Structure 1
Amino acid sequence: MKLVLFACLAAVAFAAPQGDQKPIVEIIKDERSDSGDGNFNYAFEADNGISMSVSGTPGAEGQSNMEGVYSFILPDGTTAEVRFTADERGYLPVSDLLPTSHPLPAHAIEQIRFAEEQRAAGVTFE
């Protein structure tokens, strides 16, 4: 029994932080405010370039509506930024990082224009 107790105490001692070890990532800014009525703000920044700032309000359907921005450093050293809203429509990010659809080819645009002309002229197909 004493051996098991000694082994447990040794494991705890070895698992404890040793000396003045610095955390891998240090938080250099951490600001938060909550008014208690569903409105809130927070912002943080880490020493590795990650940052986030968000403000929120109560939504009409019981959700929290939020607007914010977060950024981080890409492997090439540039900063990536994503702005977003989150509300009853869901999460809507905006960033140059996100893929976009390809533009329609000219022949497709012409077909759409022609179909709209036919629809406006009352042409129907059955």
Structure 2
Amino acid sequence: MIKTALIISLFLVAAIRAADESQAETTKYRNEIKPDGSYSWEYGTSNGIDAQESGVGGVQAAGSVSYAAPDGTPIQLEYTADENGYRPTGAHLPTPPPIPDYILKALAYIEAHPFQRIQLKK
């Protein structure tokens, strides 16, 4: 009985300690800013967060971040931001459902039969 209680107690202490991320420390850090406006940075923490980014200030950026979700699932996010907007990618992100066939057929028909504009007289 005492052994079981001891094992359960140790398990609970380990679980509580693992859940407390307030004691996480920075394990790596790098930050570079160049005169031409380009930059890069990266950091890592003792609780498994790693992130990095490089780009040109106000023009474009690309980077990634990885960490463990609260349920323990590894999360890996990569992103690009430029004149086309912010585009993240990652297996954990939701994806839209496929476009139904009838919509694809309707779009193909519209493209094949463009609408003739009518000019009204004033």
Please tell me the TM-score bracket, short chain as reference: 0.5 to 0.7
Q: Which residue of 2 aligns with 1:71?
A: 66
SS of the residue 1:56 aligns to: strand
CA distance in 1, matches of 2:116, 2:82: 40
CA distance in 1, matches of 2:109, 2:33: 55
User: For residues 27 and 57 of structure 1, do their structure 2 counterparts lie closer, same or farther at Cα, with a shift above 3 Å needed?
Assistant: same
CA distance in 1, matches of 2:113, 2:31: 58
Unaligned runs of 5+ in 1: 1-22
SS of the residue 1:109 aligns to: helix
CA distance in 1, matches of 2:66, 2:74: 7
* Amino acid corresponding to residue 80 of structure 2 in structure 1: T
* Amino acid corresponding to residue 94 of structure 1 in structure 2: T
From 86, 90, 93, the equivalent of 1:91 is: 86
**CA offsets, 1:54-82, max 9 Å, x none?**
11224xxxx24211111111133221111
Measured after TM superposition, the shift of residue 94 of structure 1 is 1.8
Unaligned runs of 5+ in 2: 1-21
Higher helix share: 2
* Amino acid corresponding to residue 95 of structure 1 in structure 2: G
2:36 is aligned with 1:41: no
SS of the residue 1:37 aligns to: coil
Check the 8 A contact 1:42/1:55 in 2, yes or no.
Answer: yes
Q: Which residue of 2 aligns with 1:10?
A: none
Return the TM-score normalized by structure 2: 0.64
* Larger radius of gyration between Structure 1 and Structure 2: 1
Return the TM-score normalized by structure 1: 0.62
- The number of residues matched between the two structures is 97
CA distance in 2, matches of 1:43, 1:113: 46
* Amino acid corresponding to residue 102 of structure 1 in structure 2: P
What is the identity percentage for the equivalent residue pairs of Structure 1 and Structure 2? 29
